[in-house]
Structure 1
Amino acid sequence: MSAMPWLDDAWRRLQARRERGALPHALLICGPEGLGKRDFAARFVRGLLCQQPELGEACGHCRSCVLLDAGTHPDRVAVGYGLRKDGVQRSEIVIDQIRELSARLAMASQFGGWQVATIDPADALNAAAANALLKTLEEPAAQTMLVLVADAPWRLPQTIRSRCQRIEFHLPEPAQALAWLQARGVVDPASALRAAGGNPGLARRWAEEGALDRRSEVRRDLAALAAGRGEAADVVRRWLDSEPAQRVWFAAQAVADESRARAAGEAGPLASGMDTAALGEWYDRANRTRDSLRGPLRGDLALLELLARWR
């Protein structure tokens, strides 16, 4: 059984395919951040390369497992964010990395079994890299497995997605998520789960990091700006200092609550002067801003524009 019970059905189905000898040559493991898909992928890869697996689980002590623990297994390849020539980490996966991967997978397995490559985050492949990967997916070598891991699979070209067996994780039922959080000693699990939008993995992490206090602060900031108190520039500086994307997520949540209250004829928690349509537009803009904070645009300008529109 998995430490995250919502992964168990997918695990059983995947292992049943393995027992039938019907594994695909490429998997796309996707779903929201925090649901354990990277642990799932690592567990699957270990079991696939293990020389003495038991029901798909790695034994932990064979030569393959020892080499995997040391990060030196010759048939295990991991592709992620590489470094530029100046030593700075890239923000995307580039074509040279995929060409190197393809050349590696074209060689014979050194252990005579599977060769396994993971691409994580696969949704960071740039256009040229995705095109290069497509060629590998169309002509896979024997006993090679590509495991793509993505938080945002829709960013991958359809041609890539259609050539992978998709394993997608969704938010578990609230009762299961709450029970899981309670079993791990999370204080006020219901509030943490609400803050994380029903995602138990994020709820646990955010509770441990003090994110609930940050959520309350964001709501106070928005209420103050709506009342004409404070300056948007001061709020931007504070938000940039600590988890700006998470703060924008909390801001969007607060505005959604405001909109629901307004629709019910009640006073919202932010006392905004915006009508329902304007609140919806701001909510959409907040989500676009959160996405843009991952890119090369200046975060301070993106946040300032967002909060100026709120004001």
Structure 2
Amino acid sequence: MSLWPWHDEAWSRLQARRERGALPHALLLAGPAGLGKRDFLAAFVKGLLCQHPVQGMACGTCRACQLVAAGTHPDLVALSFGLRKDGATRSEIVVDQIRDLSQRLSMASQFGGWQVVTIDPADAMNAAAANALLKTLEEPTPSTLLALVADEPARLPATIRSRCQRIDFLVPPRETALDWLRAQGVADAAAALDAAGGNPGMARTWAADGALKQRGEVRHDLKALAAGRGDAMEVVKRWQAADPSRYLWFAAQAVTDELRARASGTPPPLESQLDDEALDGWYTKANRARDALRGPLRADLVLLEVLAAWR
């Protein structure tokens, strides 16, 4: 498994700590989805459990590597969304999962080395689960590494964050991202990267699934609504049927371009009738709506409220 180009520095720091025998008992891999932190963690965990690693990378052939590949390594626990009693997947990590984990960690490593736990997404733990995990973090067992992955680390309690060694995954320089995208075979790399706000992993995904077309639809819809020609309910139906969070992302991005155009004196792409202050407020409203979509609110009502404010 090869690292992504912008992982090199974090990888080197972590491996240096490993060689000194100074690995922390808890890691927090934080940053937006699309920057490869899960691939980074997978490579690190494989190397940590491998019996014959080379520069921190797993050999891929030893018994430990084979067990990791099969998902049956006895010293590796991957914690994520569990199932409810009705068989449906939960939307949060609950306290019973953390209690079961604590009991598991009370037993010795079967391979005589590290016990590794990954919690992903850690920012989906509910309050009770986070409190239970805090007790485990405060009293770590020897040769145990807990690795938390969070796209939105601010959703984790400060008490959890403060007890982890944090590795932040940041958007790389534009040229680095473009070179990587081209190497991945992304045809219109620059347009995809612009749509993804500079996030190369997101750009690769969006280039493959028609997101650039959706970005154009959003701008067309907002321009039409601003001119009084569009039907807000029809727009809501289309946005809701696809990926409402992504449509709101593109909408907020379009408003940023509108404000930049006004500031530079160039023709604004949306021709909005809102003044700059109102546009700034709408940008905030669109981003808050993206957060609201994670909750129990109906997506159509969330979208309708935002689009009503646009008109």
CA distance in 2, matches of 1:79, 1:10: 23
Structure 2 runs not aligned, ≥5 long:
none
Partner letter of residue 72 of structure 2? T
CA distance in 2, matches of 1:302, 1:130: 29
Q: What is the Cα deviation at residue 3 of structure 1?
A: 4.1
The aligned runs of 1:24-35 (5 Å cut-off) are 24-35=24-35
Preserved contact between residue 95 and residue 132 of structure 2 (Cα < 8 Å): yes
Aligned to 1:302: 302
Partner letter of residue 271 of structure 2? A
Aligned to 1:165: 165
CA distance in 2, matches of 1:286, 1:88: 30
Aligned to 1:224: 224
Preserved contact between residue 2 and residue 8 of structure 1 (Cα < 8 Å): no
Deviates more, 1:290-299 or 1:129-138: 290-299
Aligned to 1:146: 146
Aligned to 2:214: 214
Q: What is the Cα deviation at residue 261 of structure 1?
A: 1.4
State the secondary structure of the residue aligned to 2:229. Answer: coil
Residues 97-134 of structure 1 deviation map (CA, whole Å, 9 limit, x = unaligned)? 11111110111111111100000000101111000000
Aligned to 1:46: 46
Aligned to 1:256: 256
Aligned to 1:198: 198
The aligned runs of 1:1-311 (5 Å cut-off) are 2-311=2-311
CA distance in 2, matches of 1:302, 1:163: 36
Residues 246-305 of structure 1 deviation map (CA, whole Å, 9 limit, x = unaligned)? 111000000111111122333310010000000000000100101111222111110010
Partner letter of residue 305 of structure 1? E
Preserved contact between residue 119 and residue 147 of structure 1 (Cα < 8 Å): yes
Structure 1 runs not aligned, ≥5 long:
none
Preserved contact between residue 95 and residue 128 of structure 1 (Cα < 8 Å): yes
Partner letter of residue 109 of structure 1? S
Q: What is the Cα deviation at residue 53 of structure 1?
A: 1.0
Preserved contact between residue 263 and residue 276 of structure 1 (Cα < 8 Å): no
State the secondary structure of the residue aligned to 1:22. Answer: coil
State the secondary structure of the residue aligned to 1:271. Answer: coil
State the secondary structure of the residue aligned to 2:78. Answer: strand
CA distance in 2, matches of 1:218, 1:100: 46
CA distance in 2, matches of 1:91, 1:293: 13
CA distance in 1, matches of 2:88, 2:221: 34
Partner letter of residue 237 of structure 2? R
State the secondary structure of the residue aligned to 1:259. Answer: helix
Q: Structure 2-normalised TM-score?
A: 0.98
Q: What is the Cα deviation at residue 166 of structure 1?
A: 0.4
State the secondary structure of the residue aligned to 2:59. Answer: coil
State the secondary structure of the residue aligned to 2:101. Answer: helix
CA distance in 2, matches of 1:240, 1:29: 31
State the secondary structure of the residue aligned to 1:294. Answer: coil
Preserved contact between residue 3 and residue 40 of structure 2 (Cα < 8 Å): no
State the secondary structure of the residue aligned to 2:77. Answer: strand
Residues 123-166 of structure 1 deviation map (CA, whole Å, 9 limit, x = unaligned)? 10111100000000000001110000000001111110010000
CA distance in 1, matches of 2:198, 2:185: 17
- Pairwise CA RMSD of aligned residues? 1.0
Question: Percentage identity across aligned positions?
Answer: 69
CA distance in 2, matches of 1:203, 1:195: 7
Preserved contact between residue 222 and residue 270 of structure 1 (Cα < 8 Å): yes
CA distance in 2, matches of 1:113, 1:132: 25
Residues 46-97 of structure 1 deviation map (CA, whole Å, 9 limit, x = unaligned)? 1111111111111111111111111111111011111111111111111001
State the secondary structure of the residue aligned to 2:291. Answer: helix
CA distance in 1, matches of 2:16, 2:295: 40
Q: Structure 1-normalised TM-score?
A: 0.98
CA distance in 1, matches of 2:58, 2:303: 46
